[in-house]
Structure 1
Amino acid sequence: MSRAFTREEDSENAIAGVGERPISTHRNLVTERGMAQIEDNLADLRDIMAKAERKADRERIAVVSRDLRYWTARRESAELSVPEPGSDVVRFGMGVTLQSDDGKKVHWKIVGEDEADPAKGSISHVSPMAVALFGKKVGDVASVNGKEWEIVKLSES
């Protein structure tokens, strides 16, 4: 194929050897914090892009362009979801404290895919644990990977 028929962004990605970031097929539910993170990422990337353009750094421009496309698409598809105050069942955006059979307790906040960080106590709403918890109440048991977890507390954060 002639180079005349390629898109500029394709050639930019080829320069840096970067592919597109995959976008999830799941609903893009976000908390208020998740929406703010998307906006922060976009603002940071615009600043980085301006610096890269001033330096004519084609590789950096390609990478940042790719990331800008990703975060722009995520912002456009974002659905802000706030848990109903006083809800007695597990919903998106809520905190859930669980206890295993051996007495181990964990606390997870169920958030959007882009804001999930299990090391910091947040899991994606499409994770097996979150899916197993949705709609359950305190005292109910969720089974994930052959292990049972009892819901001992719900919180709005």
Structure 2
Amino acid sequence: MEALDLVVPVREGPSNQQLRYALRSWEENLPHRHVWIVGYKPAWLNGVNFIPTRQTGTKYANTTHAMRLACEHPEISETFLYANDDMFVMERLDEMPVLHRGPLREAESYYAGRASGSYLRGMRETRDLLVDDGYPDPLSYELHVPLQITDLFGLASGDLG
């Protein structure tokens, strides 16, 4: 398999030590083609591709915007790894496995007893969207690990306008 690009949304702020350590871990242990920083690039960071964005919304709105920009960017591989700046890969991998935590209904049940508000509502809306799209029992990919993303919706080609 060809090495994938690694896309990382980064919040504004001059110091981001976790990003520094994450980059080191990916360089050592996670094969990838290019690193793409979306959002803010600390002054100390060199040797990466950068898509600057204004971050005026909530962290969820900002990361959703970053994901859309990554999918629309013509130079980012059609399939890429999406990671946060605090995800570390501690052992050498040949490629990042696609990991999940089981059926979304189980994750929703877990959070129904512990959370409310927009987080749980978003989880339920996501489940409903996936069920409506023909996935009767979708899986939950809500793990804090790099996630393989494929442009299934044609964002890169502009099909959704």
Structure having the higher strand fraction is 1
The verdict on a shared fold, with TM-score over 0.5 as the criterion, is no
Q: TM-score, normalised by structure 1?
A: 0.24
The structure with more helix, counted as a fraction of residues: 1
Rg larger in 1 or in 2? Answer: 1
TM-score (norm. length: structure 2): 0.24
